[in-house]
Structure 1
């Protein structure tokens, strides 16, 4: 019965992982995003005490 012989299925497993780990990541990382995020303003906003009219 061929499903009990591990040699062809082990080779298929190894070649599929090689494909996933070597071939596919550069293709995915090669894509560019249409809008690159711009850095936010690093200055802290001015904080002050709140005026509560009921106190």
Structure 2
């Protein structure tokens, strides 16, 4: 049963994680956001007290 031999599969696992952790994150983090997540001209809302008819 050759699939029980961990030698080649362990190296594949290590190299794939090495690629995932070194190559992919800088590529993903280099993208810029299209929309500003904190718009400065957003209106502020005031909460009003509710008038319950049974209270």
Give the shorter-chain TM-score range: 0.5 to 0.7
Unaligned runs of 5+ in 2: 47-55
Instruction: Give the structure with higher Rg (CA).
Output: 1
Aligned residues: 51
Q: TM-score, normalised by structure 1?
A: 0.62
CA RMSD of aligned residues (A): 2.9
Unaligned runs of 5+ in 1: 46-55
Deviation beyond 3 Å, 4+ runs, structure 1: none
